[in-house]
Structures are given as C-alpha cells and as structure tokens.
C-alpha cells in the first residue's frame, strides 16, 4: 500500500507510522529521517538542505520533494510506503501526485489521525523530560513519576521543554490548521481520506487504523 499519514502534533503519528509500516511490511518515510540521512551522508540534497537550515530558513519544497522522490525510488519502496510529514502543504501534495503519476502509480489512502485540540495540548504540555537523560520522559497525567519533578530512573530533575509549553503547542496547531488541513481537504476531494480516532491505547489505535485501511486495499 501507498499511504500518507496526517494528523495534528501530539496525535501519535510517529508511533503509529512505525507500527503500521511494520505490520504492512512497507518502509516508513518521514521528512525528519530524510533530512538527517541526506545530511549525514553529505549528499548534494543534504548539503543544500543544511545550508537553508543553518541560515534559519525553511527548506524549500523542491528540495524536500527531491529527497522524497529519491527515497521512494529505492527497491524496498517498490511495493509501497508510508509517508509521514510529507506532503506538508498543498503544493507538495500536487507535486507528489505528479511524481506518482509519472511512475504510473497512485496513493491508496490518506490516513487522518483525529484528536481533539484540547487533548493535543494536554498530551504535549503535560510532558516532562529528565535533564540528565532526555530518553526518560514522563507525563503529569498519563505516566507521572513516583515523586513530582524527579526522574524515577536516575533522580534527575524533570522539566518542561520550551517546545512543549501550551503557548508553543497552540502556535504549532495554528500552523497545522493553516498548512496541513488544506492537504486533507485536497485528498478528501479525491476520495482518499480515511479518518480514525487516535484516542485510547496505542494498540487500539493501530488496530483501528489497520481495519480502516482494509477498505482501501
């Protein structure tokens, strides 16, 4: 299957993308991974992307699209792929359509993970990270530490990252509404969108997604 995964920040896209790609036996292609891989290998596209990032600018659509095109042309993606974080806007979606059309293939589904805005804020703003080891992450509601403000694993101080503040989360949601929601409308007009609730245990959301995708196979 060829799938695009969309949803607001905090919807669990990364977790679900990894799980769904494994279940469906297709590669998980995320823009973050594409950037890191190309920059690490010092490809021409990676050098170009890094020059924009180092200057504090957004990487242009054409660079992102070229990276995605290169990744989707790899042998492991011949039978399908799951795109996460791309396309991020309508112009990227249109470019993806043209790219797939030129290869004689098309998307099977756009999986939309739906989460209420207040829940998004609650999920992200409630995160607390250990200063000693950032791999140790807690949540004030869903997975609180035994002692408030103290890491269960190493005793380090727990803090809220700037990116996780409620103000920052709401700004990220504004960007999502402005840039990404039109992508969902774009694909809905093509009859490709499958919307599921991303509320509840991770396993339940994965099962819900797999069941919904069956209708697109």
**Catalytic residue chosen out of the listed positions 13, 19, 122, 123:** 13
The secondary structure of the chain in percent helix, strand, coil, rounded to multiples of 5, reads 50, 15, 35
**Catalytic residue chosen out of the listed positions 2, 19, 122, 127:** 127
Q: Show the DSSP H helices in the chain as ranges.
A: 13-24, 31-40, 44-54, 61-72, 90-102, 117-125, 166-175, 181-188, 202-214
> Is 216 one of the catalytic residues?
no
Task: Confirm if 13 and 113 have CB atoms less than 8 A apart.
Answer: yes
**Catalytic residue chosen out of the listed positions 69, 132, 170, 172:** 172
> Is 101 one of the catalytic residues?
no
Q: Please confirm whether the linkage preceding 150 is cis (ω < 30° from 0).
A: no
> Distance (Å, rounded) from C-alpha 184 to C-alpha 36?
26
> Is 161 one of the catalytic residues?
yes
Structure tokens at 33: 């991974």
> Distance (Å, rounded) from C-alpha 211 to C-alpha 168?
34
**Catalytic residue chosen out of the listed positions 88, 122, 123, 128:** 88
**Catalytic residue chosen out of the listed positions 25, 36, 41, 161:** 161
> Distance (Å, rounded) from C-alpha 158 to C-alpha 152?
10
Residues 6+ apart with CB under 8 A from 65: 92, 95, 96, 99
Active site residues: 13, 88, 127, 161, 172
């Amino acid at each position: 299957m060829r799938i695009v995964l969309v949803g607001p920040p905090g919807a669990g896209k990364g977790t679900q993308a990894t799980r769904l790609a494994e279940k469906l036996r297709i590669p998980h292609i995320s823009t973050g991974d594409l950037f890191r891989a190309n920059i690490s290998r010092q490809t021409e596209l990676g050098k170009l992307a890094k020059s924009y990032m180092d200057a504090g600018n957004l990487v242009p659509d054409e660079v992102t699209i070229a990276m995605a095109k290169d990744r989707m042309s790899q042998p492991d993606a011949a039978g399908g792929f799951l795109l996460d974080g791309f396309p991020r806007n309508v112009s990227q979606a249109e470019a993806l359509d043209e790219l797939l059309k030129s290869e004689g293939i098309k998307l099977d589904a756009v999986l939309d993970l739906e989460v209420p805005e207040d829940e998004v804020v609650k999920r992200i703003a409630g995160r607390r990270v250990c200063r000693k080891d950032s791999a140790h992450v807690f949540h004030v509601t869903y997975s609180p530490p035994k002692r408030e403000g103290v890491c269960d694993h190493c005793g380090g101080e727990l803090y809220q990252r700037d990116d996780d503040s409620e103000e920052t989360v709401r700004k990220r949601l504004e960007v999502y509404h402005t840039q990404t929601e039109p992508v969902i409308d774009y694909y809905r007009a093509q009859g490709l969108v499958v919307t599921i609730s991303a509320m509840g245990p991770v396993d339940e959301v994965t099962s819900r997604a797999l069941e919904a995708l069956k209708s697109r196979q």
